[in-house]
Structure 1
Amino acid sequence: MIQTSTPFIFMRGGSSRGPYLNRADLPEDLDVLSKVLVSMVGSGHPLNIDGIGGGTAVTTKVAMLSRSDDEWADVDYFFAQVGVEEQLVDFKPSCGNILVGVGPAAIEMGLVEPTGDTTEVRIRAVNTGSLVSEIVQTPGGMVQYDGEAVIDGVPGSAAPIQLQFMKVEGSLTGALFPTGKIVEEINGISVTCIDVAMPMVIGRAQDFGVTGYETAAELDANHELLDRMEAVRLIAGERMGLGDVTKSVTPKFGLLSKARNGGSACVRYFMPWKCHPTLAVTGSQCIASCLLAPGTIGEGLLDKAYTSPAKILLEHPMGKMEVVIEYKIDEGHFNVVSAGLLRTARKLATGEVFVPGEVWTRN
């Protein structure tokens, strides 16, 4: 049977990478789409040897773009987290690192026309409903990828991309603290269940028997820790209204500790079954909000007092990430207004990606 081909742009977005596709080129039915993405990535093998995945969660991500019918947005961004060794696709979360590449990819695909030396691309994250303004460098009407901006976890430098996230509070659950409590006790451990850009369960590293300064590899090798966190995550998922999250990557998990390298605080972010090599863009917003909100598990961990807009510098396994949180406190209630970050992206390849005809044949 003849294979089915689909045009794609292969991009690094932030500290993740994957194919960027036109949603119109893919099957509408989500079950069929899942099979296509599993085949495309090569899920079911630790090296993704029969696909274009890279054998880790940060390289088995897919972005699907289309023109938006939202009155504010230019582009709809539909995200899929595809499994590495399991043939699973999760459409619940969004991904902020992959989102960094949406602006450049939308221009490259002709979904957005460049407007001058810089182009604002207004994005609706379909999975969560978040709205994001992205400023892309477009001198001469072409996306510029070369530049001097540096982000930890990615070698070299590239053109800066400025992102401003809006409507991030209650992204998937509809509430900042979806359990109704600022702190939950689960299996004898205090955690905060919070939803800003990404639903998360956040605890203090010391309460889980680690320092929070371990490398990602050291944490991945600590199976007792991973099992303990997963047991807490499953219960938290139920309490957050997410149901059975056994096979879902949401909520994510975070461990906090005090900064030790000049940052505001130190974090280890889990995806959730492995430690992220750096830090997710969505996760950074959620963690920073947790650190700023009164009464959470993060209270007292920041290096100093902050006021809005707060520039929070989060230490992660490969360096630091800065996120700016604009917030307000009304009658004791903490609310996130927006979050800003600076990231980079780079186009790596373009062409066609193939899946076996038995998986999907375009009508």
Structure 2
Amino acid sequence: MHQIQANMQDAAACTQTTQKDSMRDQQRPAPQIRIAATYLRGGTSKGVFFLLQDLPAAAQQPGPVRDAIFLRALGSPDPYGKQIDGMGNTSSSTSKGVILSRSTREGHDVDYLFGQVSIDKPLVDWSGNCGNLSAAVGPCAIHMGLIRPERIPHNGMVTVRIWQANIGKTIVAHIPITEGQVQETGDFELDGVTFPAAEVALEFLDPADEGEAGDTGAGIFPTGNLIDQLDVPGIGRFAVTMVNAGIPTIFVNAGDLGYTGTELQDAINNDADALARLETIRAHGALRMGLIHDLAEAATRQHTPKIAFMAPPRGYQAAGGKSVEARDIDLLVRALSMGKLHHAMMGTAAVAIGTAAAVPGTLVNLAAGGGKRQTVRFGHPSGTMRVGAEARLVNGEWQVTKALMSRSARILMEGWIRVPGEVLLAR
């Protein structure tokens, strides 16, 4: 009898142990997964590039798993704002992800999808392009084997036609090739980037936004006006030029905001009241442009539109110590990205600047001295930048056929990125 009771107690203990082990297994965090990735600098930005087919199956289409991978890869959301637990580097310029795939669209080589990852919020904004990382798409596509080998000369230039999937536009990149490999080093200097590199020339074809889902589809000027008056309750009334080209952008005169146009990052980013005021203006501009239907939507659409302020040329000392002389520029421009003043200039915003400058009568054009122009050189917090745009008046409406600028790009690291397996459970 005692033996039977002992056996029953042993069996019960074994069952309890099994149940505890099972519970521990259920509570044990999922192990990390690894995903092939390449980390590149493009222009004044950096980002993690993925090949579509290398992503887990659930992330090969839009949805919460894809967003979760981007967030964890970059280290967001991080209430400390440091992105210590990821590849992000605490600024909108370095909190970015890209997905590339061989294009099925006729006349294009590669499809390029861009995600702007918020630093402190669980948000990936897919509403626009990154012009700086556009310079890295061609080199990365070659690196990933998306361009047929016979297209690549031993020495010379290869033209890569890119379909920008976020906004449905074509970008043409001209990539230098040396000894059959992408030429990444060189003497092309880009203000905002410490070291020189090889030049990558970019053409943004037909950059005016013809309208995404929910947008007005009104072309370059969404309201049909070169200058609008924007009423912002509690802040004031501002003359603005609103442009849909490169990226939707709201331009305001620096003087109307109490600025000179020579401000550097600390002057704006350390002023919480200024950031809140600029964000409020941006939200009202987004509503006026038809990009959102309610002011509250602006908080979930941080990447677009951009807000920028400009002024006529004057001298200043750029962030890296470079002296910018008034005679060397046509105007001053400062732009905000993801709620902060950008350290240089977003490539897509540069397209918007070039487009607006090319159309006589816009605030940007007037700040640059007025008249017709095909190129403009502007001063930004890190130095200067030149961008060109071809604009013409057709049947009473302005059209821009292309915008031109040069950037550089370089692979910084290649291999695998690791993220917790729990991303595959995102809902």
Match of 2:349 in 1: 283
Asked if 1:7 is matched to 2:36, the reply is yes
Q: 1:74 aligns with which of 109, 116, 123?
A: 109
Structure 2 counterpart of 1:48? 83
Greater shift, 119-128 or 324-333, is seen at 324-333
- The equivalent position to 1:96 in structure 2, one of 96, 106, 131, is 131
Distance of aligned partners of 1:24 and 1:219 in 2 relative to their CA distance in 1, 3 Å threshold: same
Deviation at 1:272, TM superposition (A): 4.0
> Aligned equivalents of 1:303 and 1:147: distance in 2?
34
Matches within 5 A, 1:56-205: 56-113=91-148, 114-116=151-153, 117-170=156-209, 172=212, 173=215, 174=217, 175-186=219-230, 187=232, 188-205=237-254
1:267-278 matches, cutoff 5 A: 267-278=333-344
Q: Distance in 2 between matches of 1:361 and 1:193?
A: 41
Q: Kindly indicate whether the alpha-carbon contact (under 8 Å) linking 1:163 and 1:340 is maintained by their aligned counterparts in 2.
A: yes
CA distance, structure 2, for counterparts of residue 30 and residue 137 of structure 1: 36
Distance (Å, rounded) in 1 between the aligned partners of 2:160 and 2:399: 26
Q: For residue 167 of structure 2, what is the amino acid of its counterpart?
A: T
Is 1:212 equivalent to 2:257 in the alignment?
Answer: no
Give per-residue Cα distances to partners, 1:288-334, cap 9 Å, x unaligned. 22223233222421146444xx1211110011111111111234432
* 1:246 counterpart (299, 303, 315): 299
Aligned with 2:53 (options 21, 24, 35): 24
Which letter does structure 1 place at the counterpart of 2:176? Q
SS at match of 2:299: coil
Of 293, 296, 304, which aligns to 2:359?
Answer: 293
| 18-27 or 288-297, larger mean C-alpha shift | 288-297
1:358 counterpart SS class: helix
State the distance in 2 between where 1:221 and 1:337 align. 39
> Does the CA contact (< 8 Å) of 1:4 and 1:360 recur in 2?
no
In structure 1, distance between residues paired with 2:370 and 2:229: 27
Cα RMSD (Å): 1.6
Take 1:177 and 1:305, find their aligned partners in 2: how far apart are those partners?
Answer: 18
> Deviations for 1:101-143, whole angstroms, at most 9, x for unmatched residues?
0000000000013521211111010001110110111122111
Deviations 1:159-208 (A, max 9, x none): 11111110211164432111333322222111111110100111000001
Letter of the 1:287 counterpart: I
CA distance in 2, matches of 1:331, 1:125: 28
Aligned partner letter, 1:210: Y
> Alignment partner of 2:132: what SS?
helix
Q: What one-letter code is carried by the residue in structure 1 that aligns with 2:117?
A: V
Contact 2:354 2:375 in 1 (8 A): no
Give the Cα–Cα distance (whole angstroms) in 2 for the partners of residues 304 and 168 of structure 1: 22
Q: Which one has a larger percent helix, Structure 1 or Structure 2? A: 2
1: CA distance, partners of 2:280 / 2:164: 29
Q: Deviations over 1:26-60 (max 9, x none)?
A: 21242211111101110122111111111111000
Alignment match of 1:266 (pick from 321, 324, 332): 332
Distance across 1 between alignment mates of 2:375 and 2:223: 27
Instruction: State how far apart, in whole Å, the 2-side matches of 1:231 and 1:279 are.
Output: 21
Bigger-Rg structure (1/2): 2
Q: Provide structure 1 residue ranges, at least 5 long, that are not aligned to the other structure.
A: none
The alpha-carbon deviation at position 216 of structure 1 amounts to 1.5
Deviates more, 1:155-164 or 1:180-189: 180-189
Indicate how the Cα distance of structure 1 residues 224 and 200 shifts in structure 2: closer, same or farther if over 3 A, else same.
Answer: same
Q: CA shift at 1:231, angstroms?
A: 1.4
Q: TM-score scaled to structure 1, two decimals? A: 0.95
Cα distance between partner residues in 1 of 2:183 and 2:286: 41
- Structure 2: how far apart are the matches of 1:152 and 1:305? 27
> What is the SS of the residue equivalent to 1:194?
strand
- Measured in 2, the distance between the counterparts of 1:85 and 1:272 equals 11
Equivalent residue letter for 1:292: A
CA distance in structure 2 between the aligned counterparts of 1:156 and 1:304, rounded to whole angstroms: 35
Counterparts of 1:75 and 1:29, CA distance in 2 = 18
Aligned residues: 360
Specify the SS of the correspondent of 1:229.
helix
Q: Hey, what's the Cα distance between the residues in 1 that align with 2:365 and 2:207? A: 21
- How far does the alpha carbon of each residue in 1:215-259 deviate from its partner, in whole angstroms, 9 at most, with x for none? 122111233322222112111211212112222121110101012
Distance 2:274 2:86 in 1: 31
In terms of mean alpha carbon deviation, does 198-207 or 282-291 score higher? 282-291
Taking a change above 3 Å as real, the CA distance of residues 291 and 224 of structure 1, as seen in their structure-2 partners, is farther
> In the aligned structure 1, how far is the partner of 2:408 from the partner of 2:329?
21
**Superposed CA offset, 1:258-297 (max 9, x none):** 1223111110011141011000111011012222323322
